[in-house]
């Protein structure tokens, strides 16, 4: 096999065009086989095989910087830079699913949030200029989907201003991000050159041809294809050159020879250049090509021959939300939904199918999505903006100054909250409950099970004068965790016997960690430590009943799937201080560091967020209060 002979990019230099085509076929076969065993981003990588080969033939990485936006299409890059052991892809100790500086000098950007690569490229190109590195080049690969993000255009504005600063921008145009690219750039950035008269002519032609038997529809499709090709060829060139950027393309993104020629021309130019490449997401793997939803953007473990999942998961948090949104849409005509280019991953596909006029895909533009939601609320609708928890970080200013300041009734639904694991540091949703604590008036719910997710979503959309947030985990939703009582707005999940006049521990359980907290209580009970477990349901603001309840206990413990810095534990501690309740408090959560990729269970064990670890430390705390010190408290709770 040719692939096994590739130990680094320069090994590509010795291959003929025929051998390069063979190598591309081997890479596709390798990817389907490897990713089907581990799960990962399959479709995006199948689409950039030839493009990545051409990039590494033309540019001399790592001296030249080859940058990938988001990085989920960097598997081919890994293969060509000496990393061909994919057996542990996205698992602890194995390859990251994104570029990783710890893995290779060829990897530059680890941040796997979209639309950032042009900012990186601009900065590196400026550094080359300042330091006189004339023989260093920068090539930045960005998808047409990522060009829907505002950061990309902020960077283009700066890049275009430097007419003599070399920088190659490769637009990987496959008409998709997760699903089809939405918005003004959807038809390859071509709408600027489209006239109303031409569109009216095309519409009349379609109507006429579709009424023509047998040949009408095929003829229209041919006409539409020709029109699309014309727009592809003319409009992007005009658009980018109006910005002051040299434009090359469009290039067949699966023709290595054509790609190399275009990239060589761009590399020789003494200023910024756009190389526009047309690629097919999922190329060479029929199950991916036939998948209209997202072309196998990300898959779990699948059968390589059919593309079908090996196992069928139980109901997920996302699916529970998806079904409840459809129900809410039926009950209330003012409910609308917003997604940032992730209709299916965040569970809004069913809502979109049921209410196509009430779904808005803003592209990879979380900031715009939040402010647009404020506008929708001001106009009388109630928007539900569903987004991964880690991506809401990007829209903090809009949540604060546009939604909260204006007292807009907007509901943010945060999927993948807490430790997500396999996607690594940038995808853990571990900051939302910290950054949102500072937003005045905002109310934040953390459901513990499917029933509470449905209930709290319904409660959230009733709020008309403030932002609300409902956050939940990635993966399968666990069994129902029933309440045994209620104090204020908090559910009591476990209470000590009536004979206990002052329980030892008040355990505040946040969200999906309720089963763990009940396990902690069981372990403490075996040590004779009495425990009350409460679920606040709404963790912001802190329930007024919590401080008096804490005052009736000896110790308060909070457990959350969020950063300890500024999280729920910090808010509870402040509430106790404000109420004059002087009770020791210990907060357990995610430490203030970036977490390496591994399974959720492995990450939780590594950071000590498990029932035995927490019970051990709480046992020691109670022992200290009692004036006794058990030198081996761990043995008592294991």
**What residues act catalytically?**
281, 366, 394
Reading the block at residue 58, the tokens are 């033309």
| Strand bridging mode 531-535 / 490-494 | antiparallel
With a CB cutoff of 8 Å and minimum separation 6, the contacts of 331 are none
**What distance in Å separates the CA atoms of residue 416 and residue 475, rounded to the nearest whole number?**
8
Contact status, residue 471 vs residue 445, Cβ threshold 8 Å: yes
**Number of helices and strands (H, E) in the chain?**
23, 18
**What distance in Å separates the CA atoms of residue 506 and residue 368, rounded to the nearest whole number?**
41
Q: Is 480 exposed, middle or buried (0-12, 13-18, 19+ CB in 10 A)?
A: exposed
First to last CA, the chain: 51
Q: Is 314 exposed, middle or buried (0-12, 13-18, 19+ CB in 10 A)?
A: exposed
Reading the block at residue 451, the tokens are 């029933």
With a CB cutoff of 8 Å and minimum separation 6, the contacts of 343 are 178, 179, 349, 352, 359, 361
> How far is the CA of 594 from the CAs of 91, 176, 277, 327, 621, in angstroms?
16, 29, 34, 38, 28
For CA atoms 81, 82, 88, 93, the dihedral sign is: negative
Residue 72: asked if its preceding bond is cis (omega within 30°), the reply is no
For CA atoms 342, 344, 348, 352, the dihedral sign is: positive
For CA atoms 315, 321, 325, 331, the dihedral sign is: positive
Provide the 3-class DSSP secondary structure of residue 336: strand
Give which of 501, 469, 508 is closest to 586, Cα–Cα. Answer: 508
């Amino acid at each position: 096999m040719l692939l096994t002979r590739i130990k680094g990019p320069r090994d590509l230099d010795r291959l003929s065009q025929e051998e390069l085509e063979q190598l591309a076929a081997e890479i596709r076969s390798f990817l389907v086989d490897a990713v089907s065993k581990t799960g990962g981003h399959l479709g995006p990588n199948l689409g950039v095989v030839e493009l990545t080969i051409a990039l590494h033939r033309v540019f001399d990485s790592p001296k030249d910087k080859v940058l990938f936006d988001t990085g989920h299409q960097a598997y081919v890059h890994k293969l060509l830079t000496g990393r061909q052991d994919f057996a542990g892809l996205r698992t602890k100790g194995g390859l990251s699913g994104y570029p990783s500086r710890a893995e290779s000098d060829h990897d530059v950007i680890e941040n796997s949030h979209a639309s950032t690569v042009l900012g990186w490229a601009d900065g590196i190109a400026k550094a080359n200029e300042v330091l006189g590195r004339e023989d260093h080049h920068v090539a930045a690969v960005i998808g047409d989907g990522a060009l829907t993000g505002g950061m990309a255009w902020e960077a283009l504005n700066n890049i275009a201003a430097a007419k003599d600063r070399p920088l190659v921008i490769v637009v990987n145009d496959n008409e998709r991000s997760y699903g089809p690219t939405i918005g003004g750039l959807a038809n390859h950035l071509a709408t600027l050159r489209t006239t109303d008269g031409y569109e009216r002519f095309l519409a009349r032609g379609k109507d006429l041809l579709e009424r023509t038997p047998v040949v009408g529809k095929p003829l229209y499709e041919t006409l539409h294809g020709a029109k699309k090709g014309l727009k592809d060829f003319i409009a992007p060139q005009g658009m980018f050159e109006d910005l002051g950027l040299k434009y090359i393309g469009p290039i067949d993104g699966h023709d290595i020879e054509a790609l190399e020629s275009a990239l060589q021309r761009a590399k020789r130019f003494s200023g910024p250049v756009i190389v526009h490449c047309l690629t097919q997401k999922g190329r060479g793997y029929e199950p991916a090509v036939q998948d209209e939803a997202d072309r196998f953007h990300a898959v779990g473990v699948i059968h390589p021959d059919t593309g079908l999942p090996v196992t069928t998961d139980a109901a997920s948090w996302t699916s529970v939300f998806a079904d409840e949104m459809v129900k809410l849409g039926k009950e209330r005509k003012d409910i609308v939904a917003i997604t940032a280019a992730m209709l299916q991953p965040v569970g809004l596909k069913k809502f979109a199918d049921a209410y196509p006029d009430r779904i808005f895909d803003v592209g990879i533009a979380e900031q715009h999505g939040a402010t647009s939601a404020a506008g929708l609320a001001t106009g009388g609708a109630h928007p539900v903006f569903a987004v991964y928890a880690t991506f809401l970080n990007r829209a903090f200013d809009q949540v604060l100054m546009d939604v909260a300041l204006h007292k807009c009734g907007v509901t943010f639904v945060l999927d993948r909250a807490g430790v997500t694991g396999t996607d690594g540091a940038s995808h853990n949703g571990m900051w939302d409950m910290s950054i949102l604590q500072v937003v005045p008036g905002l109310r934040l719910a953390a459901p513990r099970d499917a029933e509470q997710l449905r209930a709290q979503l319904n409660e959230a959309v009733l709020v008309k004068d403030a932002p609300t947030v409902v956050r939940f985990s990635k993966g399968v939703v666990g069994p129902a965790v029933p309440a045994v009582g209620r104090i204020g707005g908090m559910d009591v999940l476990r209470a000590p016997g009536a004979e206990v006049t002052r329980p030892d521990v008040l355990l505040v359980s946040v969200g999906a960690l309720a089963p763990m907290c009940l396990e902690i209580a069981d372990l403490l009970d075996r040590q004779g430590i009495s425990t009350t477990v409460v679920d606040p349901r709404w963790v912001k603001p802190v329930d007024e009943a919590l401080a008096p309840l804490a005052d009736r206990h000896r110790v308060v413990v909070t457990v959350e799937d969020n950063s300890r810095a500024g999280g729920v534990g910090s808010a509870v501690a402040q509430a106790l201080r404000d109420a004059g309740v002087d009770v020791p408090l210990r907060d357990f959560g995610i430490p203030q560091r970036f977490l390496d990729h591994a399974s959720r269970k492995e990450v939780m064990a590594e950071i000590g967020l498990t029932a035995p670890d927490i019970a051990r430390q709480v046992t020691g705390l109670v022992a200290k209060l009692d004036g006794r010190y058990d030198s081996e408290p761990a043995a008592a709770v294991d």
